[in-house]
Amino acid sequence: MGRGRQVGPFPLFFEAHGPAGGNPLVMVHGFGTHGFTWRHWLPVLAQEHRVYLVDLKGFGKSPKPRDDRYSPWDQAQLLRNFLQEQNLRDVTLIGHSLGGGIVLLATLHLFREQDPRVCRLVLVAPAALPQPLSPWIRRASRPFVGLLLLWLAPPKLIARRALELAYAHPEKVTPQQVEAYAWPLRSKGGRYAVHASARALRSLAAEELLTGLGDLSVPVLLLWGEGDRVVPPAMGERLRGMLPRATLAKLPQCGHMPQEECPEASLTLVADFLRS
């Protein structure tokens, strides 16, 4: 396990697990979560791979500066810098939701630089194409009012409501999960970072993705829960048609967070893809 070195103007927090010589997997969480989201997959993937769990700027244990650089493109540049500074090669990038969109942006940036360090992508319900924002992100993004709501609402209530929206079966949400996603909101800058990130999502570089996806020649696994109410499964069909080497897998009775709601079934699909 390690602490991130300097990436851009500040260090991103990351943890490293598994054999030092294993093929690198870099895993990027979604909006409002952090490395905890991969806890079910990590023990298996770290048996053969060197796994890096990266906390995006403003989330988890990464710094939460009061600036305006929280857009997906800003996050993608930090991820690209992380890969280059860690000198990672033959990397498999795994991204969930917002992290999936950021992984795509970072990979496109590297391809344009003719830097071939990314060899595969696993995108779990990625937020990569234009769509309406989820209700809680929409509320959090409102000028002044969104920040006020984040200050007034108890962190555990915010975390629970977001998790229940993300699950096909909300009754499966546990107190452990609620607490894991509530504590970053209590940290210094936590509420500001969520508000700034929500506002920045309105500027997701969708047009840039739409014009560049056909250039990505790496194998891609698209993984979706059929009961996803945050990023509709129809987005997976669209992405499969845009990415030259994409495979789409859907999980029944599963929502927006397959790695948490359906960990065994989703991990089986990912492990099979990595072996192939």
94: domain CATH number?
3.40.50.1820
Give CA–CA dist 119/107, Å, rounded: 10
Give CA–CA dist 251/184, Å, rounded: 30
Dihedral angle of Cα 47, 258, 29, 72, to the nearest 10 degrees: 140
Residue 182 in domain:
yes
CA angle (17 as vertex; 173, 105 as ends), nearest 5: 75
Q: For residue 246, what are the CA distances in angstroms to 28, 151, 221, 232, 237? A: 19, 41, 6, 17, 10
Residue 203 in domain:
yes
Give CA–CA dist 44/46, Å, rounded: 5
pLDDT tens, per residue, the chain with 276 residues: 444 444 455 689 999 999 998 999 999 999 999 999 999 999 999 999 999 999 999 999 999 999 989 999 899 999 999 999 999 999 999 999 999 999 999 999 999 999 999 999 999 999 988 777 776 676 666 665 566 677 678 999 999 999 999 999 999 999 999 999 999 999 999 999 988 888 888 655 455 556 788 889 999 999 999 999 999 999 999 999 999 999 999 999 999 999 999 999 999 999 999 998
Residue 84 in domain:
yes
Residue 171 in domain:
yes
Residue 79 in domain:
yes
Report the DSSP beta bridge partners of residue 35: none
Whole-structure pTM value: 0.92
Question: What is the span of the domain harbouring residue 178?
Answer: 6-275
Structural domains counted in the chain: 1
pLDDT, residue 202, reads: 67
Residue 1 in domain:
no
pLDDT, residue 146, reads: 60
61 closest CA partner among 170, 187, 158: 187
pLDDT, residue 209, reads: 59
Give CA–CA dist 141/143, Å, rounded: 6
